[in-house]
């Protein structure tokens, strides 16, 4: 909300600089930015009167104007078409700083001769003063502008941009902000006048109000003014509306808007003669009912919406917008003025459904106090009478079914240190509350009975009152203390620790951590063979319509992004959640770790030659991860995961349970995600790993006797797997370690065969093995391999 | 040969030894077990007592002298050998890389924040990201139709319950965990909740629809706003350094009373006001306050006995401030050129 500092000063005396006021308000809960200072740059600009206009001797388009400023006369050259004798204008003397009408730059006005005539200054346009865009002619000031006065004094202003939190609808008004300023600075408040003569008939004789749905309309007040003279508002009123950002319409509508901005309560004026049977009925809309609102749009209503109706039809959407039929127009002479209170939730719904967030609805939605209604309707009635004349009917119709009397708030003074950790002097508490408009009775030395002012709907509990005191005293004064007292019983979250371990292990293994969007498209889920899962009711786009059921698409997309940026090798992982729907419940949020490996083969550095990412890198990574998580290692068994290449894939098991899958990404998925070239993927279900992880570590004695190392190259048929061979090699009780160190195909190995070379470590915990023992054990293994797998020892 | 002659000859030959191999041959020849001095010492027993003493003394002195000479010659040769520059040394060639990945800056910031609070006795817990309206809003004093819902633009899940309502949403903050934690435990409570949150928002350099928060909650007898201030100032010091100033101001969140907004002074301009802090000199880093009495009583806590504080901070925002990152969208782009910059 933007409000005028000048307007603010109508209600409270301000001596502090604007910036300081803004800071103090900010600290107390109203975030204020000094948005625009109007007139700061008007040094050397004063109000002047045009006393003569003569043609320029050398130019048809220019004229010579004589202007008078408090006794002295100056002659200036002026090109404006709207210059005339008697006008009050803004006159800039040489040396003044102005915005150049053509370039928009700020310049210092210099002594100049224009077409041979010396000009003592300049008569300014709106744009030159930074007041607006108009540069067609000069700015005409009102005829009562004081000649000779500095323009800044006459119309300088500062606009404050204020962020009002939803709990403070009372501060959506200049008076509300003024009250805050008064409380902070200790100055008194001068509220606006509410008195007016009531010269008309008793209002009860003219109209009636009925609230059919008191749950949605706790209070409705009306006044009637007859014989008004519709016309434009006086300039001061118009200027204020403009300063707030509203367009002046006519004196009646302008007053309702003015009072809303001034005191916070939205109001509406009906052309009284258009209300059939002179009746106001506050009721729910009828099925199929519609209304043409003030903006000329036809709106369909439904029974969830509250309307203001006359005897026959809806004449306004309650608290949102008036109807066109009953609008105040040129012929209007009598008006019925409405000020009412509406239930915020229903009104908010209505405004949202009709897509009409208006200045009025925005205030109602925040829960205005029903006590705001009478002073506001009186103020508006008073102002209408002042600017449009007319006779005010006697009395105010006030239907108030929603009256509640909560009684005072009981504030134990001990509550202040209990919540704040700081004592505040009793006298200071009373002073602050009084400055904020609260009424306090001293019930006992330890206790206050506190009645919040009528405009505050947000203060209900002792804690609310404590905050009021604290924010005005200032949070700056709060001491800083440390938590004392008992430490809670702590139970470490195993899953949380597991996730952090996974991050540490994977990053230490050379992978970078990614965090990808949990919202993905249906296409991406389908392409990665992940189920569709939960859909958003209001997605931002089709690309982010579903909650992911796997982390596959996100990480593949991250790979594709890096490929596009020219990366040659990508190793990424993510630890995150997949959201798996459950009937009638929140989804299962499965903790998942995924990794994607791509590229990086060849000479990566002068001293490093590396194999590119492949199935075996993924396998090594998964094995390392599970081993380090304490699952007792991982096993890999054949699998059929459609997301992966049918041949290059395996399920990962730990402790006999499947915990994940590894393999090359299926080319179809790679295509959709725009991944270039074969990438390998690791997917581990951490929820499944949790149960298997963290097995206790039990120490094994270090070997005391030396080992014998033997290399063994075997030729086997392609169908024989490495595992079949290692299983046999490990069967010897003397073999403690088997390492496959070479795999070779090609000459002189016959086709359909391969050569596998193993390094075997023979070792006994009891003694040093003799060569004969080792030879014998090796011989037995070779024989068994030959018999069971057809393996032949490869001669050197 | 006389021992003295031998001594002179040995020293002369020692000069000739050009490298460590030559030196070793010399040592074997003169000082080895089969060398003349050892032989001489071994043959002492055959000599008369008086001569044995003289001869022995002499042999030992010669041996000691030759050993000293050998020692010094050896050091000289080793020095000469090591000092001779071998060909092909270029220390500027790049070292063999150790393949270490990095943690995402959000994870790193999470860890720093959690570590700071853990040192103050807070326990880390996590909660669901898909939530019920009840936990995200109603239990936090934000009933349906409440204007404060505007503060939290919400992604709703396409899910209809038995009564035709749409109560499932993506949590807009980590605050629902305040309620979930309190429902399950009795005071004292001291937890922090790192997690992902969602806002129905168009993304730009300063707004993301998905981001991360850390929530904090402490409930016990005699917890005060001053405790909150002390705790958060300490954490700000740990996260941003000693020299940063912190500020507490009043603000509104429906589930706390009194409410607090904490800011630190802008490191870019030193509090003078600049583009980063929109001219205010202050950067808001978190919202906080004393847990609202209605929230406490809703979970069955005795509000006359217990008070508590709660706070919530945006992780990306803190990471952006600490590292000078100017576009929040970078956090979800996973561009390795970005990720590699974080230790």
* Residue where one domain finishes, among candidates A443, A474, A505: A474
A133: confidence class by pLDDT, cuts 50, 70, 90: low
The percentage of chain A sitting over the pLDDT mark of 70, rounded to a whole number, equals 99
* pLDDT value at residue B43: 83
Q: Which of residues 236-295 of B touch A (CB under 8 A)?
A: 248-252, 254, 257-260, 278-280, 290, 292-294
Q: What is the CATH number of the domain that holds A372?
A: 3.50.40.10
User: Model ipTM?
Assistant: 0.86
Does B308 map to a domain?
yes
Does A482 map to a domain?
no
Instruction: Report strand pairing: A279-284 vs A208-211.
Output: parallel
Asked whether the beta carbons of residue A510 and residue B251 sit closer than 8 angstroms, the reply is no
Does A481 map to a domain?
no
Residues 6+ positions from A706 with CB-CB distance below 8 Å = A763, A768
Does A283 map to a domain?
yes
How many A-B residue pairs are in contact by the CB < 8 A criterion? 261
Considering CB atoms only, which of B161, B224, B280 is closest to A421? B224
Does B95 map to a domain?
no
Does A196 map to a domain?
no
Distance CA B295, CA B305 (A): 14
The verdict on A359 and A265 lying in the same domain is yes
Q: Is the pLDDT of residue A478 over 70?
A: yes
Determine contact: B125 vs chain A, CB below 8 A. yes
> What are the tens digits of pLDDT across the range A374-400?
999 999 999 999 999 999 999 999 999
Which residue of A478, A496, A532 is the best one to mutate when testing the B interface, meaning the one whose CB has the most B CBs within 10 A?
Answer: A478
The verdict on A518 and A653 lying in the same domain is yes
The verdict on A550 and A634 lying in the same domain is yes
**Which chain B residue is nearest to residue A350, measuring alpha carbons?**
B145
Identify all chain B residues contacting A470, using CB atoms and an 8 Å cutoff: 225, 250, 258
Residues 6+ positions from B93 with CB-CB distance below 8 Å = A606, A607
Considering CB atoms only, which of B146, B209, B307 is closest to A540? B209
Please say whether the beta carbons of A280 and A336 come within 8 A: yes
CA–CA min distance B316, chain A (Å): 12
Evaluated on CA atoms A199, A201, A204, A207, the torsion sign reads negative
The verdict on A142 and A234 lying in the same domain is no
Q: Which residue from B114, B60, B126 is spatially nearest to B235, judged by alpha carbons?
A: B114
Instruction: Report residue A37: phi and psi, to 5°.
Output: -100, 115
Q: Which residue from A513, A637, A512 is spatially nearest to A569, judged by alpha carbons?
A: A512
CA–CA min distance A297, chain B (Å): 25
CA–CA min distance B240, chain A (Å): 18
The verdict on A387 and A268 lying in the same domain is yes
Does B91 map to a domain?
no
Asked whether the beta carbons of residue A471 and residue B250 sit closer than 8 angstroms, the reply is yes
* pLDDT value at residue A54: 86
The verdict on A713 and A757 lying in the same domain is yes
Identify all chain A residues contacting B224, using CB atoms and an 8 Å cutoff: 417-422, 481
A626: confidence class by pLDDT, cuts 50, 70, 90: very high
Q: Is the pLDDT of residue B232 over 60?
A: yes
The larger pLDDT score, comparing residue B246 to residue B19, is at: B246
Average pLDDT over residues B38-65: 84
Asked whether the beta carbons of residue B223 and residue A485 sit closer than 8 angstroms, the reply is yes
Q: What is the 3-state secondary structure (H, E, C) of A68-94?
A: EECCEEEEEEECCCCCCCCCEEEEEEC
CA–CA min distance B136, chain A (Å): 13
The percentage of chain A sitting over the pLDDT mark of 90, rounded to a whole number, equals 73
Average pLDDT over residues A149-177: 90
B8: confidence class by pLDDT, cuts 50, 70, 90: confident
The verdict on B205 and B321 lying in the same domain is yes
CA–CA min distance A552, chain B (Å): 14
Distance CA A147, CA A155 (A): 13
Asked whether the beta carbons of residue A561 and residue B209 sit closer than 8 angstroms, the reply is no
Residue with tokens 């910059």: B341
Residue with tokens 């027993």: B45
DSSP string, B99-155: ------HHHHHHHHHHHHHHTTT-EE----SEEEHHHHTGGGT--TT-GGGGGS--P
* pLDDT value at residue B51: 83
**Which chain A residue is nearest to residue B336, measuring alpha carbons?**
A562
Does A703 map to a domain?
no
The verdict on B38 and B118 lying in the same domain is no
Q: What is the DSSP letter of A747?
A: T
* pLDDT value at residue A134: 64
Average pLDDT over residues A660-682: 95
CA–CA min distance B188, chain A (Å): 5
- Length of chain A (residues): 796
Structural domain for B27, as ranges: 3-82
Please say whether the beta carbons of A424 and A473 come within 8 A: yes
The verdict on A373 and A246 lying in the same domain is yes
* pLDDT value at residue A116: 82
The verdict on A363 and A426 lying in the same domain is no
Considering CB atoms only, which of A345, A586, A607 is closest to B130? A586
The verdict on B264 and B146 lying in the same domain is yes
* pLDDT value at residue B277: 81
The verdict on B146 and B275 lying in the same domain is yes
Determine contact: B138 vs chain A, CB below 8 A. no
Task: Look at residue B174 and give its three-state secondary structure.
Answer: coil
The verdict on A716 and A775 lying in the same domain is yes
Identify all chain B residues contacting A540, using CB atoms and an 8 Å cutoff: 200, 202, 209
CA–CA min distance A648, chain B (Å): 25
Average pLDDT over residues A725-733: 95
Asked whether the beta carbons of residue A419 and residue B292 sit closer than 8 angstroms, the reply is no
**Which chain A residue is nearest to residue B153, measuring alpha carbons?**
A538
Domain count, chain B: 2
Q: What is the DSSP letter of A169?
A: G
Identify all chain A residues contacting B229, using CB atoms and an 8 Å cutoff: 475, 478-481
* Residue where one domain finishes, among candidates A399, A420, A446: A399
Does B133 map to a domain?
yes
Identify all chain A residues contacting B301, using CB atoms and an 8 Å cutoff: none
Asked whether the beta carbons of residue A345 and residue B145 sit closer than 8 angstroms, the reply is yes
Q: What is the CATH number of the domain that holds A95?
A: 2.40.50.140
Average pLDDT over residues A254-259: 97
* pLDDT value at residue B172: 97
The verdict on B115 and B71 lying in the same domain is no
Task: Look at residue A666 and give its three-state secondary structure.
Answer: coil
Q: Is the pLDDT of residue A796 over 70?
A: no
Distance CA A675, CA A310 (A): 67
Structural domain for A267, as ranges: 203-399
- Interior angle at CA B57, CA B54 and CA B62, nearest 5: 125
The verdict on A455 and A569 lying in the same domain is no
> What are the tens digits of pLDDT across the range A341-351?
999 999 999 99
Average pLDDT over residues A59-69: 85
The verdict on B125 and B51 lying in the same domain is no
Alpha carbon B241 to its chain centroid, in Å, reads 15
**Which chain B residue is nearest to residue A580, measuring alpha carbons?**
B130
Q: What is the 3-state secondary structure (H, E, C) of A84-153?
A: CCCCEEEEEECCCEEECCCCCCEEECCCEEECCEEECEEECCCCCCCCCCCCCCCCEECCCCCCCCEHHH
* pLDDT value at residue A120: 82
* Residue where one domain finishes, among candidates A668, A692, A716: A692
Does A214 map to a domain?
yes
Identify all chain B residues contacting A414, using CB atoms and an 8 Å cutoff: none
Distance CA A43, CA A24 (A): 28
Domain count, chain A: 6
Q: What is the CATH number of the domain that holds A442?
A: 3.30.56.10
Asked whether the beta carbons of residue B100 and residue A510 sit closer than 8 angstroms, the reply is yes
Identify all chain A residues contacting B249, using CB atoms and an 8 Å cutoff: 26-29, 475
* pLDDT value at residue A734: 95
Please say whether the beta carbons of A516 and B332 come within 8 A: yes
Identify all chain A residues contacting B257, using CB atoms and an 8 Å cutoff: 461, 463-464, 466-467
Instruction: Report residue A297: phi and psi, to 5°.
Output: -90, 140
> What are the tens digits of pLDDT across the range B237-267?
999 998 888 999 999 999 999 999 999 998 8
A372: confidence class by pLDDT, cuts 50, 70, 90: very high
Asked whether the beta carbons of residue A475 and residue B260 sit closer than 8 angstroms, the reply is yes
The verdict on B162 and B201 lying in the same domain is yes
Distance CA B224, CA B220 (A): 10
Q: Is the pLDDT of residue A624 over 60?
A: yes
* pLDDT value at residue B54: 84
Q: How buried is A687 (Cβ within 10 angstroms: 0-12 exposed, 13-18 middle, 19+ buried)?
A: middle
Distance CA B77, CA B24 (A): 11
B4: confidence class by pLDDT, cuts 50, 70, 90: confident
Identify all chain A residues contacting B335, using CB atoms and an 8 Å cutoff: 561-562, 565
Q: Is the pLDDT of residue A132 over 70?
A: no
The larger pLDDT score, comparing residue A783 to residue A84, is at: A783
Asked whether the beta carbons of residue B258 and residue A579 sit closer than 8 angstroms, the reply is no
Please say whether the beta carbons of A517 and A511 come within 8 A: no
The verdict on A151 and A162 lying in the same domain is no
* pLDDT value at residue A101: 65
> What are the tens digits of pLDDT across the range A406-450?
889 999 999 999 999 999 999 999 999 999 999 999 889 899 999
Asked whether the beta carbons of residue A33 and residue B339 sit closer than 8 angstroms, the reply is no
The verdict on A634 and A729 lying in the same domain is no
In the predicted model, what is the mean pLDDT of chain B?
A: 91
The larger pLDDT score, comparing residue A223 to residue B147, is at: A223
CA distances from A591 to A578, A579, A719 (A): 7, 9, 38
* pLDDT value at residue B153: 93
* pLDDT value at residue B5: 84
The verdict on B45 and B163 lying in the same domain is no
- Interior angle at CA A487, CA A483 and CA A493, nearest 5: 120
DSSP string, A203-242: HHHH-EEEES-TTT-SEEEEEEEES----PPPHHHHHHHH
**Which chain B residue is nearest to residue A488, measuring alpha carbons?**
B188
* pLDDT value at residue A572: 98
Q: Is the pLDDT of residue A19 over 90?
A: no
B278: confidence class by pLDDT, cuts 50, 70, 90: confident
Alpha carbon A339 to its chain centroid, in Å, reads 33
Distance CA B38, CA A416 (A): 98
CA–CA min distance A94, chain B (Å): 32
Average pLDDT over residues A755-768: 94
Identify all chain A residues contacting B117, using CB atoms and an 8 Å cutoff: none
In the predicted model, what is the mean pLDDT of chain A?
A: 92
- For the record, the structure tokens of A92 come out as 């800039």
* Residue where one domain finishes, among candidates B82, B115, B145: B82
Average pLDDT over residues A552-572: 96
Does A636 map to a domain?
yes
A750: confidence class by pLDDT, cuts 50, 70, 90: very high
Asked whether the beta carbons of residue B159 and residue A466 sit closer than 8 angstroms, the reply is no
> What are the tens digits of pLDDT across the range B70-85?
999 888 888 888 888 7
Distance CA B152, CA A53 (A): 61
Residues 6+ positions from A723 with CB-CB distance below 8 Å = none
Identify all chain B residues contacting A367, using CB atoms and an 8 Å cutoff: 147
Distance CA A124, CA A113 (A): 17
Number of H helices, E strands in chain B: 12, 9
**Which chain A residue is nearest to residue B248, measuring alpha carbons?**
A475
Q: What is the CATH number of the domain that holds B147?
A: 3.30.930.10
CA–CA min distance A697, chain B (Å): 26
CA–CA min distance B255, chain A (Å): 12
Q: Is the pLDDT of residue A99 over 80?
A: no
């Amino acid at each position: 909300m933007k409000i005028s500092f000048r307007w603010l000063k109508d209600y409270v005396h301000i001596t502090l600089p604007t910036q300081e006021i803004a800071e103090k308000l900010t600290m107390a809960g109203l975030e204020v930015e000094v948005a625009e200072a109007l007139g700061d740059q008007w040094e050397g600009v004063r109000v002047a009167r045009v006393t003569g206009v003569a043609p320029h001797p050398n130019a048809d388009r220019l004229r010579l104007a004589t202007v008078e400023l408090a006794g002295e006369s100056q002659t200036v050259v002026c090109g404006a078409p709207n210059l005339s004798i008697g006008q009050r204008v803004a006159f800039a003397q040489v040396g003044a700083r102005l915005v150049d009408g053509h370039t928009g730059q700020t310049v210092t006005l210099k002594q100049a001769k224009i077409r041979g005539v010396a000009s003592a200054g300049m008569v300014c346009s709106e744009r030159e003063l930074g007041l607006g865009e108009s540069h067609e002619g000069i700015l005409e000031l009102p005829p009562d502008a004081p000649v000779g006065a500095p323009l800044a004094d006459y119309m300088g202003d500062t606009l404050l941009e204020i962020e009002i939190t939803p709990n403070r609808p009372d501060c959506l008004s200049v008076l509300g902000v003024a009250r805050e300023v008064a409380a902070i600075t200790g100055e008194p408040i001068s509220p606006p006048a509410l008195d007016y003569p009531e010269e008309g008939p008793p209002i009860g004789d003219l109209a009636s109000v009925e609230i059919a749905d008191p749950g949605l309309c706790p209070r409705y007040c009306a006044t009637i003014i007859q014989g008004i003279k519709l016309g434009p508002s006086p300039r001061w009123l118009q200027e204020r509306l403009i300063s707030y950002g509203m367009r002046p319409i006519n004196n009646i509508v302008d007053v309702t808007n003015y009072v809303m901005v001034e005191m916070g309560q939205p109001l509406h004026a009906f052309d009284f003669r258009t209300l059939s049977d002179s009746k106001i009925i506050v009721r729910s809309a009828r099925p199929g009912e519609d209304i043409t609102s003030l903006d000329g749009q036809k709106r369909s209503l439904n029974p969830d919406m509250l309307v203001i109706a006359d005897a026959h039809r809806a004449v306004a959407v309650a608290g949102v917008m008036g109807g066109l039929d009953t609008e105040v127009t040129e012929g209007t002479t009598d008006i019925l003025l409405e000020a009412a209170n509406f239930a915020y939730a229903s009104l908010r719904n209505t405004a949202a459904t009709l897509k009409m967030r208006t200045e009025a609805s925005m205030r109602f939605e925040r829960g205005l106090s029903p006590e705001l209604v009478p002073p506001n309707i009186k103020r508006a009635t008073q102002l209408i009478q002042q600017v449009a004349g007319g006779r005010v009917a006697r009395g105010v119709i006030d239907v108030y079914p929603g009256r509640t009397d909560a009684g005072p708030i009981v504030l134990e003074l001990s509550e202040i240190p209990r919540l704040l950790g700081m004592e505040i002097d009793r006298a200071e508490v009373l002073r602050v509350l009084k400055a904020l408009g609260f009424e306090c009775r001293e019930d006992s030395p330890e206790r206050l009975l506190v009645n919040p002012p009528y405009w505050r709907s947000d203060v209900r509990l002792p804690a609310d009152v404590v905050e009021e005191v604290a924010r005005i005293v200032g949070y700056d004064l709060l001491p800083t203390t440390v938590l004392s007292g008992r430490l809670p019983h702590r139970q470490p979250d195993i899953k949380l620790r597991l996730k952090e371990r996974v991050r540490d292990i994977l990053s230490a293994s050379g992978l970078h951590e990614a965090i990808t969007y949990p919202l993905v498209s249906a296409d991406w889920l389908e392409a990665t063979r992940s189920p569709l899962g939960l859909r958003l009711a209001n997605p931002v786009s089709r690309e982010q319509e579903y909650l992911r059921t796997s982390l596959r698409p996100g990480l593949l997309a991250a790979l594709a992004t890096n490929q596009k940026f020219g990366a040659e090798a990508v190793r990424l992982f993510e630890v995150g959640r997949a959201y798996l729907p459950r009937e009638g419940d929140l989804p299962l949020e499965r903790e998942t770790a995924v990794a994607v490996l791509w590229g990086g083969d060849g000479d990566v550095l002068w001293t490093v030659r590396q194999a590119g990412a492949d199935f075996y890198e993924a396998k090594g990574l998964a094995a390392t991860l599970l081993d380090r998580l304490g699952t007792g290692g991982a096993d890999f068994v054949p699998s059929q995961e459609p997301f992966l290449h049918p041949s290059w894939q395996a399920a990962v098991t730990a402790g006999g349970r499947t915990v994940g899958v590894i393999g090359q990404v299926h080319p179809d998925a790679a295509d959709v995600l725009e991944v270039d070239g074969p990438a390998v993927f690791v997917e581990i279900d951490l929820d499944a790993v949790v149960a298997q992880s963290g097995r206790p570590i039990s120490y094994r004695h270090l070997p005391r006797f030396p080992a014998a190392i033997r290399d063994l190259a075997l030729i086997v048929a392609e169908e024989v797997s490495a595992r079949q061979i290692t299983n046999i090699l490990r069967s010897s009780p003397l073999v403690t370690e088997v390492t496959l160190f070479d795999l070779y195909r090609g000459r002189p190995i016959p086709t359909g065969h391969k050569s596998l070379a193993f390094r075997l470590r023979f070792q006994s915990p009891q003694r040093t093995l003799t060569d004969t023992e080792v030879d014998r054990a090796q011989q037995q293994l070779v024989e068994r391999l030959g018999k069971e797998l057809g393996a032949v020892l490869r001669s050197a | 040969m006389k021992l003295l002659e031998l001594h002179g000859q040995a020293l002369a030959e020692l000069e000739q030894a050009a490298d460590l191999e030559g030196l070793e041959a010399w040592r074997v020849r003169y000082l080895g077990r089969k060398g003349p001095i050892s032989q001489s010492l071994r043959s002492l027993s055959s000599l008369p007592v008086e001569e044995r003493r003289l001869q022995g003394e002499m042999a030992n002195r010669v041996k000691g002298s030759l050993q000293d000479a050998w020692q010094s010659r050896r050091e000289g040769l080793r020095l000469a050998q090591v000092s001779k520059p071998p060909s092909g040394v270029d220390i500027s060639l790049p070292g063999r890389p150790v393949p270490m990945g990095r943690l995402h800056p959000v994870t790193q910031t999470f860890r720093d924040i959690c570590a700071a609070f853990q040192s103050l006795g807070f326990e880390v817990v996590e909660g669901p990201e898909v939530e019920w309206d009840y936990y995200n809003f109603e239990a936090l004093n934000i009933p349906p139709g409440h204007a404060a819902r505007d503060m939290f633009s919400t992604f709703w899940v396409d899910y209809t319950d038995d009564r035709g309502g749409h109560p499932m949403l993506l949590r807009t903050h980590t605050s629902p965990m305040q309620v979930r934690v309190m429902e399950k435990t009795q005071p004292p409570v001291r937890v922090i909740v790192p997690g992902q949150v969602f806002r129905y928002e168009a993304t730009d350099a300063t707004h993301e629809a998905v981001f991360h928060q850390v929530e904090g909650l402490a409930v016990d007898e005699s917890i005060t706003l001053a405790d909150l201030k002390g705790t958060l100032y300490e954490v700000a010091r740990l996260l941003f350094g000693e020299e940063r100033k912190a500020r507490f101001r009043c603000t509104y969140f429906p589930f706390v009373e009194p409410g607090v907004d904490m800011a630190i002074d802008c490191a870019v301009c030193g509090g003078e006001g600049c583009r980063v802090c929109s001219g205010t000199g202050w950067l808001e880093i978190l919202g906080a306050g004393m847990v609202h009495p209605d929230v406490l009583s809703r979970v069955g806590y005795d509000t006359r006995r217990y008070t508590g504080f709660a706070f919530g901070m945006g992780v990306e925002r803190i990471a952006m401030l600490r590292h000078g990152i100017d576009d929040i969208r970078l956090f979800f782009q996973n561009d390795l050129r970005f990720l590699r910059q974080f230790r």
